[in-house]
Amino acid sequence: MTVPIATMKSDDKQPETLAILVGGGPAPGINGVIASAAIEAIKCGLRVVGIRDGYRWLVEGDTGHVVELKIEEVSRIHFTGGSILRTSRTNPARDEASLGRVIDALTVLGVRYLICIGGDDTTYGAARIAERTRGRIGIVTVPKTIDNDLPLPENAATFGFETARAIGAGIIESLMEDARTTSRWYLTISMGRKSGSLALSMCKSAGATLAVIPEEFQDKKFDLALVVDTIVGAIIKRRTSGHDDGVAVIAEGIAERMDVGSLASAADSHADAYGHVHIADIPLGIVLRDQVRAALKQLGIDATVLAKDIGYELRCAKPVPFDVDYTRTLGYGAVRHLLSGGSGVLIAVAGGRVTPVSFEQLLDPNTGRIRVRTVDVSTESYQVARSYMIRLELPDFEEPALSRLAEHAKLSAAAFKARFLPSVRATTDGS
């Protein structure tokens, strides 16, 4: 892609302005995008400003939270975690008045180009701004989320995911060693509101005992008991091989797929600016821990079960080299696409090439929102992960495995089958 090196306003000969903002939760590599985009834009003759706190101030019509970015200030930030511009979950498209104030504020700031770094919600807000400004403000988004839930070409990862997986897998490895040393089980809750990608990949990379992700379950809504029995069944199966320890990795997104009544504290949680339940307010690990403990006690099985959340410590981590490399290409590609006249797209990388994806392609026609990429449980990638897990499967309900498992659960073969077979049949592998 080639563009003119300088882009100047014809009337006053002042450089045009490119603004950068960050929306949603943090992810490793944000600063790499900021640095790469700012450096390339300045080299092409643009003035670059960073908008602090995402859309938070813009929706109020406040233009005072802006900082000019210079090459010397951003040239070494690409290997740091967090966001030098901070971030927020403010929804610019929550209503027409808010959207109008955002556009007015950008106009006052003289913004000709806007790069929005974020996930599905930030992309949706950018799509609405692009729709309203009709090219007057060139807008692109850069895909950021450790959840890995944006539908990118060639199933490419979102930036930040690889760092989160690497660090998360390291934490899980330590928990596995602790579990082995102290003869206990950890129920590890992983971030992933809509997709179980992070939970599954951390489990697979670390070799954890099992992962439980929402994509496994056939029905849109399911009861907490199915998850509890999946974990209890894994504990029993592992005990038949002489081991009383393990680590289960559970995607937090199962909370959104459950019947609200099956989560004791769900009613006390609040929704964010995009209408999502604050999963962090639901003590999923504690609820699961208590339910698993109760189920084991009922079966007369003595086991130590603890809950551990993994998530916030991943989001502002120092990016691994993959994400440093990746974000530099994304930031560069965002600027070059804008200066070539493009707008209204998400910047992706496919086959080593910058690949713009139009906002229209990303929208779900049924909801009007950005489509969410979930784990495809029909792929070999998932099947390999599942085959290495220790959890009940259909062959376990045939003899001689059935009687051996039932004996460890202090149940008859018939009672064991009646209790645990539904949790297996509820998953895609058990269909």
Phi and psi angles of residue 91, each rounded to the nearest 5 degrees, phi first: -95, 110
Write the DSSP symbol of residue 279. G
Parallel/antiparallel/unpaired status of strands 353-358 and 345-350: antiparallel
Cα separation, 4 vs 126, whole angstroms: 25
- Name residue, tokens 């692109």: 140
**Residue 326: CB partners within 8 Å, gap ≥ 6?**
29, 32, 159, 162, 349
- Using DSSP's 3-state secondary structure scheme, residue 212 falls into strand
Determine how β-strand 47-51 pairs with β-strand 138-143: unpaired
Let me know: does 348 contact 153? Beta carbons within 8 Å.
Answer: yes
Which among 194, 180, 416, 152 is positioned nearest to 304, based on CA atoms?
180
Give Cα 205 to chain centroid, integer Å: 17
Query: CB within 8 A of 22, min separation 6: which ones?
Result: 30, 34, 54, 83, 85, 86, 87, 116, 117, 118, 122, 144
In contact, 345 and 357? CB cutoff 8 Å: yes
Q: Is 147 a catalytic residue?
A: yes
**In what helix (H) or strand (E) does residue 251 lie, and over which residues does it extend?**
strand 246-251
- Dihedral Cα 10, 12, 15, 16, nearest 10 deg: -70
Question: Would the CA dihedral through 223, 226, 231, 236 be positive or negative?
Answer: positive
Which one of 53, 120, 121, 147 is the catalytic residue?
147
Helix (H) or strand (E) holding 107: helix 96-108
DSSP letter string over 44-104?
Answer: TT-EEEEETTTTTTGGGT---SEEE--HHHHTT-TT--S-TT--B---TTSSHHHHHHHHH
Strands 66-68 and 47-51: antiparallel
What residues are annotated to the active site?
A: 147
